[in-house]
Structure 1
Amino acid sequence: MAGQETLGQRIRALRIRQGVSQAQLAFPELSDSYISLIESDKRVPAPSVIELLAAKLNCSATYLISGVSEEVVDDLRVTLDYAEIALQNGAAAEARARFADVLASTDAVALPELLAQARWGHALALEAAGELEDAIEELRRLTQETSAEADLEQWARVHVALSRCLRERGDISASVEVAEEALRKLLASGAEATDGAVHLGASLLAAYIERGDLVRARQLAEQLIERAERIGSPKARMAAYWEAAYVAEVRGDYEEGMALAERALPLLGALDDARSLSRLRIVYAGLLLRARPDQAERARELLVRTREGINSSAAGEIDVALCLIELARAETALGRPAEAVDLAHEALDLLGDAPRRASAMALTVLGEAYVRLGRTEDAIEVLTRAAACMEEMESTREAAQAWFDLAELLGETGAADGPRLGAYRRALACVGL
């Protein structure tokens, strides 16, 4: 197994195998006594010295440091490259398997940078495959082992991913806690004007919205835009405009939301990030449906194109499901609730039985379609499930709306006062009344 020998032992073994003395290996740059200290592991040579010794011993510096041959390192790197291409192309299961191959290699343990790359990719592949529990477990380990001092941007990316996965699972309090603590540490280190700070702020903002904390969300959105425009980076500005558009949508200011989304779209296109571009198109189409119902067909066409291209990106099951949900909403708006029912069921089948925010959204859209079809009992059943799911996941704002909509539906159908009043009480409880 690689790594059982020390650096000094490897240098000594190679020197003896090649019939070279310590003095010959040292000449002319080093002393033979220094070579002796290195071989006995009493001195740790600088990287430049390791490169020098590797050249003299006809091997790679990587082999001297890790004990892993260049051929094995090349094979592992090829596997990693293949895994990352698979992830970018939306083949989450294939990417997960290839990253796992690298992680299972005993040689990878001796290659910390390569191992860290594989673990990060594996976590993203788990998320894309919809395996949120495993992704969260992997990301929690990475947050403990990644240092902001060593690589601030990667440290921020890991915390953003963890907060996002917790939010998708419906654990809003934990999502807020992760993003708040990470952002606090980053700002305390003086790294306010960085992409990492903006992306952490955007993740925190999304969690605030899910929790129903709209005042703090709006304040943070304004701060993010100011910070991003000061930084000037397209990536930071895109993230800030995107999340601010989400805040505007939740507040019911759909026109402002569309204006912000339209500022984000060209920036995202310039970054060549197919997955995020698909997500923003879905958000934009949803805003279009709410702000301009007369343009529902335009929104539907955008969603159809997005759905066609989404499998060529690193889109995971949740991304595909969100596209299907908005498509169902568009079909309902266009007077085709039966098609909406099929799309909502397709999204629910994709998401599985685990409680997720996207599942609650799909149930809500399904309930709306059932109402249009006159299937009142079915509508009441799925809207009750949606409201209970949102309440359980701490999505208080959406839960309150779902309970309120259910109470209104019960009133329209002439249901008994008990269930209707109960739904109103649950709506009030969700907003703390």
Structure 2
Amino acid sequence: MPTQPEFGRRMRELRLRAGMSQAELAGPGLSASYVSLLEGGKRVPSPEVVAELAERLGVAPRSLHAEDTGAPKQEAGDEIAGSAGRYAPGRIDLMELLFRARKEEEEGAFDAAAEQLTAVLDRHGDGPPDDMLWEVRWSLARVHGRNGRVDESRLLLRQLLDDPYTRSSTERRERVARHLAELSLRNGDLVAGLRFAQLAWTLAEPRQEASVAVRAGTVLVNACAWSGHRRWGREVADALVARISDEVPWRQRSAAYRESARLGLLTDDYAQARTWFERALEQIDPRQDINAWAEAQYYLAIAEFLVDQGLDEQVDERVARARPVIEVLGHTSMLVHLAVLEGHLALGRGQHDRARLMADAAVDAGAWPATHEVGVNLLWTARIYRALGDTSTAAAVYRRAGELCEQGGAMHFCASAWRELAELPAAQPLMDAADGTRRPGRNPAS
């Protein structure tokens, strides 16, 4: 049974490190007010609650016990005071300002939080590097990232990566590199995303804590998938899956299986992809992460479609489950993924009018910051138009796909787009209009 106030301090520290508010940490069975009481040392959680909190924070349960961290115990309110426990008046003021800014962040007031943190740096930023100023910069980078200020977040994170205080800790280097990779991948810089993901994996993989390695490895597999590094990605995916255990939080287990499975699709190992997508789906409670549940459903539908073992009815059921959720969520990327999938499913059944409808929906859905993803989805969409014999539309979509893939750094897919565009005048429909027979080249994931 954890003791207080050590548990509450450690819980708050891990929550802030994860960039979560009390409301975000709360969920089914746990209210934001209860989370606040736990952090304030006014409640002692049961072992079941400890396990659930650890899973949501992405750490092993033992990480919530201050005595297990190897760090000296600190007095209340001193979780960022540093190993030296310095209490100079200026330092106490700095702590107060930082906590005030983090409270603004927890409440979703990102502009106010950024203003507070910027004021701290303006006042104290010229001092020597230490743990507290590092936390201020880290918090500001996180706030900018959550508020859509990508350039400011990226600049701060790169400065942190070169900071002496960051370089003195493998854990801090891995954390900054992984966030840089995730930020880059979400915002269309695949080259930087791949570079930082590789650094994070190199730092995390040798560590004993499986959750750290799994989290970093998942980002690298994602980067490999979009950049076309299939062999390398598969090697990392195999190592990643081997590290998955019950100590790894379910969200991380699910994400690791999903990204590894996508690599299986790209390397034409459809049976393995299907197995990994099934495992991903087993990890997800849709009441806690409906977004991941819907994504796993439609990707598993792709894998089952490609296995081609008479699973059409099962594929239709999965798509029918995922579609209303995705439409309610309204995420552009998921809507496009689903439209492309349904377009290829329609092609496989000779339903050409529906295939065109889905292709048009994918093109008209718009773009999102991950430029490489937009380009690759347009490549798959161009293949639908090509299969339908609409060479003029296919040519325009291929051209746009090539441009966006090049812009985002997905050079493998960029080469495919320009090659298929060059071959377009001689291309034949991939589906026979009479019998709807599937022919090579219609893999929507390759």
* TM-score band, normalised by shorter chain: 0.5 to 0.7
Match among 314, 317, 325 for residue 336 of structure 2: 325
Q: 1:220 aligns with which of 222, 225, 236?
A: 236
Quote the offset at 1:151 in angstroms: 8.4
Partner of 1:386: 401
Q: d(CA) in 2 for partners of 1:96 and 1:290?
A: 44
**Higher share of residues assigned helix:** 1
Is the alpha carbon distance of 1:278 and 1:380 closer, same or farther for their aligned partners in structure 2, counting shifts above 3 Å? same
Using the TM superposition, give the Cα deviation of residue 183 of structure 1 relative to its aligned residue in structure 2, in angstroms.
Answer: 2.8
Q: What is the CA–CA distance in structure 1 between the aligned matches of 2:188 and 2:95, rounded to whole Å?
A: 45
1:72-130 CA distances to partner (integer Å, 9 max, x unpaired)?
777544422122xxxxxxxxxxx65454344344499677587356324324415xx5x
- CA distance in structure 2 between the partners assigned to 1:96 and 1:375 by the alignment: 47
CA distance in 1, matches of 2:89, 2:122: 12
Which amino acid is 1:201 matched to? G
Tell whether the 8 Å contact from 2:134 to 2:160 is kept in structure 1 after alignment.
no
Runs of 5+ in structure 1 lacking a partner?
Answer: 1-45, 52-60, 84-94, 312-319, 415-433
Deviation at 1:169, TM superposition (A): 4.8
In the alignment, structure 1 residue 356 sits paired with structure 2 residue 371: yes
Give 1:316's aligned residue: none
- The alpha-carbon deviation at position 357 of structure 1 amounts to 0.9
Stretch deviating more after TM superposition (198-207 or 296-305): 296-305
8 Å CA contact retained: 2:405, 2:414? yes
The one-letter code of the counterpart of 1:409 is L
Matches for 1:67-86 after TM superposition, within 5 Å: 67=93, 76-83=101-108
1:243-392 alignment, distance < 5 Å? 243-269=259-285, 272-273=288-289, 276-277=292-293, 279-281=295-297, 283-291=299-307, 294-295=312-313, 296-310=315-329, 320-332=331-343, 333-334=345-346, 335=351, 336-348=354-366, 350-351=367-368, 356-371=371-386, 374-392=389-407
Q: 2:136 aligns with which of 102, 109, 115?
A: 115
Query: Which residue matches 1:103?
Result: 117
Aligned to 1:199: 215
The residue type equivalent to 2:236 in the other structure is L
- Return closer, same or farther for 1:342/1:209 CA change in 2, 3 Å cut-off: closer
User: In terms of Rg, which structure is larger?
Assistant: 1
Question: Could you state the TM-score of these two structures normalised by the residue count of structure 2?
Answer: 0.60
- 1:162-210: CA deviation from partner (whole Å, max 9, x where unpaired): 22333455544433322223333345xx524432222222222222333
Matched, 1:66 2:92: yes
In structure 1, C-alpha distance between the alignment counterparts of 2:202 and 2:365, rounded to whole Å: 37
Q: AA paired with 2:340?
A: R
CA–CA distance in structure 1, aligned partners of residues 375 and 426 of structure 2? 22
RMSD over aligned Cα, in angstroms? 4.1
Q: Structure 2 counterpart of 1:67, which letter?
A: D
Give the deviation of 1:133 after TM superposition.
Answer: 4.3
User: What is the distance in 2 between the residues matched to 1:97 and 1:339?
Assistant: 42
Check whether the contact 1:278–1:310 (CA below 8 A) recurs between aligned residues.
no
- Residue by residue, what CA displacement relative to the aligned partner does 1:21-45 show, whole Å, maximum 9, x if unpaired? xxxxxxxxxxxxxxxxxxxxxxxxx
Closer, same or farther: CA 265–124 of 1 in aligned 2, 3 Å? farther
The unaligned stretches of length 5 or more in structure 2 are 1-72, 79-86, 125-131, 430-446
One-letter amino acid of the counterpart of residue 122, structure 1:
V
CA distance in 2, matches of 1:202, 1:143: 20
Find the residue that maps to 2:166 and give its secondary structure: coil
Tell me what 1:177 maps to.
195
1:411 to 421, 426, 442: 426
